Amino acid sequence: MADRARQPSGLRAAANTAPWILLAHYSRVMPPAGGKRYLTSTAVFLVEVVKLAISLTMALYDVSKAAPPSMPATSLFFSLTSAVFSGDSWKLAIPAGLEVLSNSLLYIALSNLRAATFQVTFQLKFLTTAVFGLMLLKRSIPARKWGLLLLLIVGVALVQMPDASPEQILKDDANHHFPRSLEEWKAVKQGSGLQKRSATYEGIEEDLSTADPHLNPTIGLLATIGASVASGLASIYFEKVLKDSSKHISLWVRNVQLAVYSVFPAFFIGVVFRDGEKIAEDGFFQGYNWAVWSTIVIQGLGGIASAFYASHAQKDARSLATTTNIILTIAASVWLFDFEFNASFIFGSAAVLVATHYYGNPTYNHGTRPPPIRIDAYEKDTTGPDGSPVEPPNDFSIKLPTTPFLSDGVSSSRPVSPAPGHTRVSSSRNASSSGYFDEK
């Protein structure tokens, strides 16, 4: 990433893009491949591997452009390695670990929230980024932005209001009861296409949750808040590392550093420690299908693209992209997932759209104040080398028109030398005279 301030879009994640949200949610609720649902820890790890491969390739290409043609490939690789692990690169291990945590929580959130609800709720990252920026970077927040953040909180609260009555909630929960007879269990197996796993209630519960996952809004909300906190802290801490660094590092080297420090926690904590037993039993790629692979590729490529977008795009363009992603996610959820919204969701999403659009819009932040007046150098420097005041140059002059009454036919605003034989008459006032001219 470029060494400049970043907007609150996460480090390299494409978590706020509509295609990734829709695909990730669909991959978590669709019928599983082979009766097994994929492990999110493996998806998070593969996303970091994709980012590392792309960043490493582009970083080697940048290094090769500055190196002489005769330099071997091994020397290029060692040169890049020294650039990646030199200086204060170890400080990026903290935002990289927070990014892995945020991505893991995003999958949990999308497994328990509808895509449109998640997209609107995840805009809380604006609030968390602003708070951490105030704490770590001592960044001031104007009163109008505090008002927009308050509007954002109100909008998210309205969106999270339950859209069903207690009777409807009980009815929905009744549809997920455990089969109490052999005929009911056969009907469940025929409807879901699952293989026989266990005759215990634990096995039946796992089969039912795999075939027809039940969304838990409470877990989804907590996971979304946790992802927003981790994403906001990672973004501000990354910006603090860049500001404190005295060495300029290229965009691709920064991406390689983040990917390297993200791969280790994603593999050892997520894949080995968390899901090691399941992977040893059913394999690393259990439950993988086209939707899972598409989710991984889009998130990996989107994370690299967002690095350039966050660095080079204007703030108003980023604000427009955020609001556009929210609208597209809601529209696609209605079309693809039969999403039904109520009045509280409409008002809440409208409040979030207004808050996110104007929060990052520089035109609104600057108001109607005219641009600053440019002052030239001679107006800024009013003292000379010895400290004495220096008068600004006076280029003011008046040019008189030419008249035929002048003997020489030429008129000028400046005095000319008298003709030979004529005596110059002083135009200065005589101290002893009372008029402007000398008396004869």
Nearest to 2 by CA among 361, 310, 371: 310
- pTM here is 0.71
pLDDT in tens, 228-267: 999 999 989 988 888 887 777 777 888 898 999 999 999 9
Q: Is the pLDDT of residue 225 over 70?
A: yes
| Residue 69 shares a structural domain with residue 139 | yes
Domain membership flag for residue 317: yes
For residue 242, is it within any domain? yes
341, 366, 391: which is the final residue of a domain? Answer: 366
42-51, 80-89, 102-111, 205-214: least confidently modelled range = 205-214
pLDDT, residue 192, reads 46
Residue 373 lies inside a defined structural domain of this protein: no
Is residue 35 helix, strand or coil? coil
Residues 6 or more apart from 192 whose CB is under 8 A from it? 31, 207, 208, 211, 212
DSSP string spanning 392-430? Answer: PP------PPP-TTSSSS---SS--PPPTTPPPPP-SPP
How does pLDDT run across 376-434, given as a tens digit for each residue? 444 445 555 555 555 555 544 555 555 554 444 444 555 555 555 555 554 444 444 44
Same domain for 296 and 191: no
Q: Is residue 119 part of a domain?
A: yes
Q: Is the pLDDT of residue 76 over 90?
A: no
Residues 197, 120 within the same domain:
no
| Residue 398 is assigned to a structural domain of this protein | no
pLDDT tens-digit readout, 9-31: 445 545 668 999 999 999 999 98
Are 154 and 254 in contact by the 8 Å Cβ rule? The answer is no
User: Is the pLDDT reported for residue 8 higher than 50?
Assistant: no
Indicate whether 82 pLDDT > 80: yes
- Token representation of residue 72: 């071997």
pLDDT of residue 221: 96
Q: Of 337, 366, 395, which residue is a domain's last?
A: 366
Question: Is residue 9 a part of any domain in this protein?
Answer: no
Asked if 129 and 153 sit in the same domain, the reply is yes
Q: What's the domain count of the chain?
A: 2
Looking at the structure, do residues 72 and 156 belong to the same domain, yes or no? yes
Q: Of 121-130, 185-194, 200-209, 418-427, which one has max mean pLDDT?
A: 121-130
Position 189 pLDDT exceeds 50: no
* Claim to verify: residue 197 and residue 157 sit in the same structural domain: no
- Among 350, 366, 382, the domain boundary falls at 366
Residue 371 or residue 47, greater confidence: 47
| Burial of 23 (C-beta count, 10 Å sphere; 0-12/13-18/19+) | buried
User: In percent, how much of the chain has pLDDT > 70?
Assistant: 64
Which range has the top average pLDDT, 32-36, 70-74, 143-147?
143-147
Residue 80's pLDDT is what? 84
Q: Does 198 share its domain with 114?
A: no
pLDDT tens profile 143-160: 999 999 999 999 999 999
Residue 226, CA atoms < 13 Å, CB-side half-sphere: 18
Q: Is residue 233 part of a domain?
A: yes
Q: Is 385 part of a structural domain of the chain?
A: no
Confirm if 106 and 15 have CB atoms less than 8 A apart: yes
3-state DSSP assignment of residue 383? strand
Q: Are residues 181 and 196 in the same domain?
A: yes
Helix (H) or strand (E) holding 163: none
Q: Are residues 257 and 187 in the same domain?
A: no
Looking at the predicted structure, is the pLDDT value of residue 127 above 60? yes
Domain shared by 340 and 356, yes or no: yes
pLDDT of res. 223: 97
Residue 311 or residue 226, greater confidence: 226
Range of the structural domain that residue 195 is part of: 177-211
Q: How far apart are CA 202 and CA 213, in angstroms?
A: 15
Sign of CA dihedral 99, 232, 296, 292: positive
Pair (61, 148) in one structural domain: yes
Residues 190 and 143 both lie in one domain? no
Q: Evaluate if residue 91 carries a pLDDT over 60.
A: yes
Measured CA to CA, the distance from residue 355 to residue 351 in angstroms comes to 6
